[in-house]
Amino acid sequence: MTRTRIATILSTLGAVALAAPAFAQTAPERPISGTRLDVSAQGEVKRAPDLVTIGAGVVTQAPTAGAAMTENARRMTATIAALRKAGIAERDIQTSALSLAPQYRYGQNEPPVITGYQASNQVNVRFHDIARSGTVLDALVAAGANQISGPGFEVENADAALDEARAQAVAKARARAELYAKAAGLRVKRILSISESGGDYRPPRPPMTVQMAAKEAFDTTVAPGEQSLSVNISVSFELE
């Protein structure tokens, strides 16, 4: 490497080293000449859910582990087929748990004795047509599912709703600051900082009701209701 080349590299590194502190510097905080006021506020909006999640499973028991798994696989295959027939996409069916465990008989002052085996296979199912929730649940049970959990409801794309809640929270905080300032004979000069403690879902857990119809058929009715989406913020104001 030539001396000219080395000098050029060293010169470049020196320039970078001198410039680096400038990028690390932050603007100095403006001093507060008035009174500081900290206010907390919450913004909340309600939306109808557009996504439902249901947990479904098959639990089987048999004298041997192989028999328990074989029967479980047969019934789970029928359960998955029923979901597909109901229009549920493959990407919306996900295995959540699979287990095989011995079953014991316990006697006094005797070691436990294995009496059989229990196999369990659980899936989570998601779909958007909430009006069909009852139909899907009935199809699952008819196909052999003997464990059902849920339903759980969500607002799938909640960003726009949460932004509305944020704007609402800021407006509330500003109104409260104006109230405090007026009561103290002051006025709001500026906002010093805003911090958010996070968006929050508070979905209701609607009951799943089963109604008896003619010919001993069951129609499951599901009521999705509404979901509350909220944002909590803390705002610091300067009063003068």
Mean pLDDT, contiguous 10-residue spans, the chain (240 residues): 49 47 53 89 92 93 96 94 91 94 91 94 91 86 89 88 94 96 95 82 44 46 84 95
State the pTM of this model: 0.63
| Strands, sheet with 51-62, edge to edge from the N-terminal-most edge strand | 93-105, 113-127, 51-62, 147-154
Give the C-alpha separation, 181 to 233, whole Å.
19
What is the per-residue pLDDT for 70? 96
* pLDDT at 166 (0 to 100): 95
pLDDT at 200: 53
Q: How far apart are CA 100 and CA 102, in angstroms?
A: 7
The pLDDT of residue 214 is: 33
Residue 199, pLDDT score = 58
Tokens 């989406």 belong to which residue?
229
How far is it, in rounded angstroms, from Cα 47 to Cα 161? 8
pLDDT of residue 198: 64
At which residue do the structure tokens 């949460």 appear? 162
Structural domains in the chain plus CATH codes: 29-48+158-240 (3.30.110.170), 51-154 (3.30.70.2970)
By 3-state DSSP, what share of the chain in percent is helix, strand and coil, each rounded to 5? 35, 40, 20
Q: What pLDDT is recorded for position 73?
A: 96
